[in-house]
Amino acid sequence: MQPLITLKDIGRKYVIGTEVIHALKSVSLTINKGEFVALMGPSGSGKSTLMNILGCLDTPTKGEYTLNGTDVSRMSDNELAEVRNKEIGFVFQTFNLLPRNTALDNVGLPLIYAGVNKQNREKRAQQALENVGLGNRMDHKPNELSGGQRQRVAVARALINNPSIILADEPTGNLDTKTSVEIMGLMEDIHAKGNTIILVTHEEDIALHAHRIVRMRDGLVEKDYQNPDIHTVGKTATESL
């Protein structure tokens, strides 16, 4: 079976004045469909740069990145934008919701760029919100929702296009412990339905929800291993926060 993601000798350098910074030196990695991977590392390890490349937000200076059978490492900005919309669902630490839009409109936003008509957009957005336990919060704006509910809206938005990958960047970073556990329970439910999740985190207890952990240091993969102790959370996606 062809891997969903193949990285071969990926490097990324930045030139700042006379200084050359090698954020990524040489990263080779494969991720298969249906995996749940935690990407970890201290500040400056290269994990954020790697996340940006995986999410087609940045391109490598060297190496090849194949996503779903397509080489995306040399694509133009417009081509990358199309890949992001079709193949990748993003969940951010800061939620990135439009404050004046309802939960329904926020979730349906990626479908506008995909050219889906309003009736189908609303139908799919309603279903996505029901799937994350927010069927009774569709008309609420972000400031009328708790932090956990806002993150659920973000998760529903990430799932709306049936992407190849859910890329979650510190998704519990702005949440309290109880809500973090519930959001990770939702992530586990999503993974159990066959979705591929790449989770970027610096928190060990959050990483333990993943089945595989990739540790970065100094622009390289320091360790890549299966999680021997999968942490199971007794929360489900339908529990409201």
Give the lowest-confidence range in 29-38, 118-127, 181-190, 228-237: 228-237
Number of Cβ within a 10 Å radius of residue 28:
14
Residue-range domain boundaries for the chain: 33-59+83-226
pLDDT at 238 over 50: no
pLDDT at 233 over 70: no
pLDDT tens by residue, 3-32:
999 999 999 999 999 999 999 999 999 999
How would DSSP label each residue in the chain? Answer: ---SEEEEEEEEEEEETTEEEEEEEEEEEEE-TT-EEEEE--TTSSHHHHHHHHTTSS--SEEEEEETTEE-TT--HHHHHHHHHHHEEEEETT----TTS-HHHHHHHHHHHTT--HHHHHHHHHHHHHHTT-TT-TT--GGGS-HHHHHHHHHHHHHTT--SEEEEESTTTTS-HHHHHHHHHHHHHHHHTT-EEEEE-S-HHHHTTSSEEEEEETTEEEEEEE-SS-------TT---
How far is the C-alpha of 228 from the C-alpha of 209, rounded, in Å? 11
Regarding pTM above 0.85, the answer is: yes
Under the banding of pLDDT at 50, 70 and 90, the label for residue 125 is: very high
Q: Considering only the C-alpha atoms of the chain, give the largest distance between any 2 of them, rounded to a whole number of Å.
A: 55
CATH superfamily of this structure's domain 33-59+83-226: P-loop containing nucleotide triphosphate hydrolases (3.40.50.300)
pLDDT at 112 over 70: yes
pLDDT at 236 over 50: no
pLDDT tens by residue, 163-200:
989 999 999 988 999 999 999 999 999 999 899 999 99
**Average pLDDT estimate for 116-142:** 94
Under the banding of pLDDT at 50, 70 and 90, the label for residue 231 is: low
Looking at residue 27, its pLDDT comes to: 97
**Average pLDDT estimate for 217-225:** 96
